[in-house]
Amino acid sequence: MDIKAVILAAGKGTRMKSETTPKVLHQIMGKTLLGYVMDNVKNFVSEQFIIVGHHADEVEQFVKCNYQNAKTVLQSPQLGTGHAVSMVCPELVNYDGLVIILCGDTPLVREETLKAFVEFHKTNNSDITVMSTIFDNPTNYGRIIREEDNSLKCIVEEKDATPEQKAVKEVNAGIYCLDWKKVKDAFGQLKSNNAQGEYYLTDIISWGKGQNLNVSAYILQNSDEIYGINSRQNLAVATKMMNRRNLEKYMAEGVTIVDPDSTWISEDTIIGQDTIIYPSTYIEGKNIIGKNCKIGPCAHLRGGVEVCDNVKLGNFVEVKKSKISSNTNVGHLSYIGDSELGSHVNIGAGTITANYNAITKEKSRTVLKDDVKIGSNTVLVAPVTVEEGANIGAGSVITKDIPAWALALTRSPLKILSDWVSRKK
């Protein structure tokens, strides 16, 4: 059965205190909150609809530039979550399949969790399935209210809940799976007679029961996965939660993380066995790191980096959008950007690939072929190619291509003024 996704991303995120960035485009380790959610469904849905509102143009541009089979749908004015989903009804008039509804500010939910949720919906022949979880402190969450036989009765938002209902610890996780053909009429019949005067998505549960539909709840065991981002404090907490599970995954796969408390690695990084990541290293974005590498301490990989086997990136090395071939060493205090390094290359300490032209705003590439040796404190002004086996003398500024097996250096003659210090004293 076909599956489509609807992602709610129209909210302003007032508590984020940001005038320039919509909540769903705030980032964790170089990736937006919305990007995490979209990536977690893209492998098993045929199309994604992103409901936009606040800073709609920016969110639309993000979706357009980064995702295929996805489109944005404007919600204006914003009259609640039920109203948000209703915006996609014209796009799905004749659709006969499943729709999974998610929030754009819950980046921790896993793809495998969502697949299990959909499978539960199918196995139970449900028409409406809501994801729930148990919180010791359920404040701010809608409560799952069950019948005496433990079946699902309704969802009550906290602002509308009675004291008894507020004591319930099972809460709405904000993720739904719908048999769209049977449920789509609900979005034209929701009422706004609540404390907020909004059309609640949660009301489709009681609507479904009134239509004698099969309504069920899937209890998520790991409640961390639906941790929502509403403030900068939430963002910091979610970042730590995500990083911890990333590091545990890498260590389980044979990667040594010397100090997990000071190491940050994105979930979109692939790392080979027996690689060692030293303390205070920060790896963000999408990267591939091979086997038997040594990274750090205090290294920074900024995304788009491919590191082959047996590579060493020393302390305080920064790399972005570059490929580093096997058995290459990049010495400490170096910057490698928009570059391609061959195998058995040695980069001396303090080497810089000057990839950015501040006047034209263009970035150019540096190419170092196999067996190149770069002396310490060298600046390679891109675009530039150093052919196989060439050596660059320490302290050089390289502005032209260097032929194979040549020595290149730019250096003023050394002057020694005897007894100069003694005379000055």
Question: Annotated active-site positions, please?
Answer: 332
Query: How many residues belong to the chain?
Result: 425
- Cβ(374)–Cβ(396) under 8 Å? no
Q: Name every residue whose Cβ is closer than 8 Å to that of residue 122 and which is 6 or more positions away in sequence.
A: 1
CA distance 383 to 400: 8
Q: What are phi and psi of 36, to 5 degrees?
A: -60, -45
- Cβ(172)–Cβ(144) under 8 Å? yes
CA distance 317 to 320: 10
Instruction: Give SS3 for 159.
Output: helix
- Cβ(296)–Cβ(316) under 8 Å? no
CA distance 197 to 420: 84
Q: What are phi and psi of 354, to 5 degrees?
A: -85, 90
Q: How many CB atoms lie within 10 A of CB 23?
A: 28
Q: What is the DSSP letter of 108?
A: T
Q: What is the DSSP letter of 413?
A: P
Element (H, E) at 115: helix 111-123
Peptide bond into 403 cis (omega under 30): no
Instruction: Give SS3 for 4.
Output: strand
Element (H, E) at 339: strand 339-341
Give the number of C-alpha atoms closer than 13 A to the C-alpha of residue 134, restricted to the C-beta side: 3
Q: What is the DSSP letter of 146?
A: E
CA distance 288 to 60: 29
Closest CA to 300 of 268, 266, 341, 270: 266
- Cβ(382)–Cβ(364) under 8 Å? yes
CA distance 237 to 246: 14
Q: Is 323 exposed, middle or buried (0-12, 13-18, 19+ CB in 10 A)?
A: middle
